[in-house]
């Protein structure tokens, strides 16, 4: 990964990626929280111990992002592919949101954070669905950072559903094919509630894997990507600042000059 990092970050970034408190802060950060299992295995612990520690990291990083003035953070907590894992691990992951909100809801409220969900929530076990929906309901009037959990989320399925909905609107005569725009798709995606903040400015993936894994494929089209070897349970506030430092030193051109 050392070699890969060298390839992924330019020579300039290696020397000038220092975080600038006064610099531009990404408004929306998306995170692929990877490496919980390896973190646990390195310590001869069961994989679920890594997920538990990863839950603490969610709190730490959400607070750090809030303190830095980030407006939205979207966390990939469970993909549509994660059902393939051993039943015991899936059951544990399904219980985590309950533990998380029980432990941290007072802090979430104190910070005025809004909890939101993306993913195919209807297919979650009843108890999980109830607990996450309660968190959304309990924070619906908050106006602070939007903390979105992607649960049973898959980007291709999301885009497929959006396409079906648009096709139906065309069929029903509500819109013509000529009238369709990128915004027609934005409005049908599960992230539509984010409005102006819908597209992340920065995507962070931990643990050394360098792929998107079906996460926000449409929304990340112009985002800056930051990959790090650090395993999610070890990811710290300083590591977040480091990622933002790299972002601050990149020049987003959106295809222009």
Minimum distance between the CB of residue 228 and ligand FPP, rounded to whole angstroms? 14
Binding of residue 5 to ligand FPP (CB under 6 A): no
Binding of residue 232 to ligand FPP (CB under 6 A): yes
Between 25 and 203, name the residue whose CB sits nearer to ligand FPP. 203
Each residue 40-59 as x (binds ligand FPP by CB under 6 A) or -, in order, gives: -----------x--xx--x-
Between 119 and 166, name the residue whose CB sits nearer to ligand FPP. 119
Binding of residue 215 to ligand FPP (CB under 6 A): no
Q: Which 143-182 residues touch ligand FPP, going by CB under 6 A?
A: 149
- Is 69 annotated in a binding site? The answer is no
Q: Is 82 a catalytic residue?
A: yes
Nearest CA to 17 out of 206, 191, 221, 228 is that of 228
Region of 32-40, 62-70, 108-116, 158-166 interacting with ligand FPP (CB under 6 A): 32-40
Between 25 and 33, name the residue whose CB sits nearer to ligand FPP. 33
Binding of residue 118 to ligand FPP (CB under 6 A): no
Q: Is 34 a catalytic residue?
A: yes
Contact 83, 157 (CB under 8 A): no
Minimum distance between the CB of residue 59 and ligand FPP, rounded to whole angstroms? 8
Between 103 and 140, name the residue whose CB sits nearer to ligand FPP. 103
Minimum distance between the CB of residue 38 and ligand FPP, rounded to whole angstroms? 3
Provide the edge-to-edge strand list for the sheet that holds 72-79.
114-118, 146-153, 72-79, 28-32, 202-205, 224-227
Report how many residues bind ligand FPP under the rule CB under 6 A: 19
Q: Which of 96, 202, 203, 204 binds ligand FPP (CB under 6 A)?
A: 96
- Is 178 annotated in a binding site? The answer is no
The catalytically annotated residue of 17, 66, 82, 214 is 82
Q: Which of 26, 28, 35, 74 binds ligand FPP (CB under 6 A)?
A: 35
Distance in angstroms (rounded) separating the CA atoms of residues 250 and 252:
6
Contact 104, 123 (CB under 8 A): no
The catalytic residue positions are 34, 82
In the complex, which residues of this chain contact ligand FPP (CB under 6 A)? 33-38, 51, 54-55, 58, 77, 82, 93, 96-97, 100, 149, 207, 232
């Amino acid at each position: 990964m050392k070699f890969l990092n060298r390839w992924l970050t330019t020579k300039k970034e290696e020397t000038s990626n220092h975080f600038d408190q006064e610099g531009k802060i990404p408004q929306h950060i998306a995170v692929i929280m990877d490496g919980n299992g390896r973190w646990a295995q390195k310590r001869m612990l069961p994989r679920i111990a890594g997920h538990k520690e990863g839950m603490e990291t969610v709190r730490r990083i959400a607070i750090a992002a809030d303190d830095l003035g980030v407006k939205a953070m979207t966390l990939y907590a469970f993909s549509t592919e994660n059902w393939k894992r051993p039943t015991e691990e899936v059951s544990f992951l399904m219980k985590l949101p309950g533990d998380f909100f029980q432990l941290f809801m007072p802090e979430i409220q104190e910070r005025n954070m809004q909890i939101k969900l993306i993913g195919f929530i209807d297919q979650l076990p009843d108890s999980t669905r109830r607990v996450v929906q309660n968190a959304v309901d309990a924070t619906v009037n908050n106006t602070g950072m939007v903390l979105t959990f992607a649960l049973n989320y898959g980007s291709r399925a999301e885009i497929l559903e959006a396409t079906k909905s648009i096709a139906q609107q065309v069929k029903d005569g509500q819109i013509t094919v000529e009238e369709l725009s990128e915004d027609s798709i934005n409005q049908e995606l599960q992230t539509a509630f984010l409005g102006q903040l819908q597209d992340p400015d920065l995507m962070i993936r931990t643990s050394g894997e360098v792929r998107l894994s079906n996460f926000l494929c449409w929304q990340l089209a112009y985002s800056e990507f930051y990959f790090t070897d650090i395993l999610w349970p070890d990811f710290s506030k300083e590591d977040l600042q480091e990622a933002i430092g790299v972002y601050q030193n990149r020049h987003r051109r959106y295809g222009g000059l």
